[in-house]
Amino acid sequence: MNDMYRIAAFIALTLVINKFNKLLFKGILKRRNKIHLKFLRSIISVLIYAVGIFSILNLFEFTKNLASTLVTSSSIIVAVAVFAAQESLNDILSGVMLSWSRPFEIGERVQIVGLNITGIVEDITVRHTIIRTFNHAKVVVPNSVLNKQVIENNSNVDSRSGNFLDVIISYESDLDQAINILEELVSSHALVLNTEEAPVKVMIRDLAENGIALRVQVWTRDVGENFQACSDLRKSVLEKFKENNIEIPYKQIKVINS
């Protein structure tokens, strides 16, 4: 009965230490969610369980002698054990290399070219890396497989999109008012980025035959938002120019009856 209590105590102690390990790294990962920290957490967790199992085995004479026999046995047995665990060891070593070289970080968008997998890196464990694809599927890739692949990290790519919004007003219209209206409409649009790097500024692109060509560059977070923003702005420009008697010239055909 004493042995049962000791086994229960070792199991409880192992679980408590592993829980403390997870809580410790949870606090660290909130500040620095790095791939090598995730992998280190997994390694420590495996070591905690290994020490716990070894401690329990040492409680019994039979298992203790068996462990000693295996350790001191011939090289053939050791070779067989290593061969059996070769795949797992390969995953662990590949995980070490990935966490050391850091081709990606947790939360970054990657494309595994050879496997045709694109998604967000969610986690890395001792044996595998978890990638969440854009259709919300969870892909588990062994570290040994991932370590041999060409990895395209898209997180550092600037996805911002800039497009020109061109408007022509008649020579009789108030130029300054038209410029102010354009700048105000573009700056106030919810999807438009207005920063020091990409300020909203209306330029006179050309003095055309049919009027003054104005141009403003519209910056948004991505291509889809840019198309939506430009569409909204064209509608707003038409309405605002009409309210302020700013004419947008258009071709007219004059028919003369003989």
Domain boundaries, the chain: 2-153, 161-243
Q: Residue 98 and residue 208: Cα distance in Å, rounded?
A: 59
Q: 237, 185 in Cβ contact below 8 A?
A: yes
Q: Residue 248 and residue 169: Cα distance in Å, rounded?
A: 5
**Residue 257 predicted with pLDDT over 60:** yes
* pLDDT for position 33: 61
**Residue 167 predicted with pLDDT over 60:** yes
Which residues make Cβ contacts (< 8 Å) with residue 187, sequence separation at least 6?
Answer: 194, 200
* pLDDT for position 216: 94
Q: What is the mean pLDDT of residues 94-109?
A: 82
pLDDT, averaged across the chain: 81
More confident residue, 141 or 158: 141
Tokens of residue 221, six digits: 């977070």
Confidence bin at 1 (pLDDT 50/70/90): low
* pLDDT for position 71: 57
**Residue 26 predicted with pLDDT over 80:** no
Q: In the chain, what is the straight-line distance between the N-terminal and C-terminal CA atoms, in Å?
A: 120
Q: Residue 106 and residue 131: Cα distance in Å, rounded?
A: 10
pTM of structure: 0.45
Q: 194, 160 in Cβ contact below 8 A?
A: no
* pLDDT for position 78: 54
Q: Residue 176 and residue 179: Cα distance in Å, rounded?
A: 5
Among the residue ranges 87-91, 175-179, 184-188, the one predicted with the least confidence is: 87-91
* pLDDT for position 229: 93
Dihedral, CA of residue 87, residue 93, residue 96 and residue 97, to nearest 10:
-110
Q: Calculate Rg over the CA atoms of the chain.
A: 33
Q: Residue 88 and residue 86: Cα distance in Å, rounded?
A: 6
**Residue 176 predicted with pLDDT over 80:** yes
Q: Residue 93 and residue 253: Cα distance in Å, rounded?
A: 77
Alpha helix positions (H), 58-85: 61-72, 75-84
**Residue 58 predicted with pLDDT over 80:** no
**Residue 253 predicted with pLDDT over 70:** no
**Residue 70 predicted with pLDDT over 60:** no
Q: Which CATH number fits domain 161-243: 3.40.50.300, 3.30.70.100, 2.160.10.10, 3.50.50.60?
A: 3.30.70.100
Q: Are strands 117-124 and 128-133 parallel, antiparallel or unpaired?
A: antiparallel
**Residue 175 predicted with pLDDT over 90:** yes
Helices and strands (H and E) in the chain: how many: 8, 8
More confident residue, 190 or 126: 190
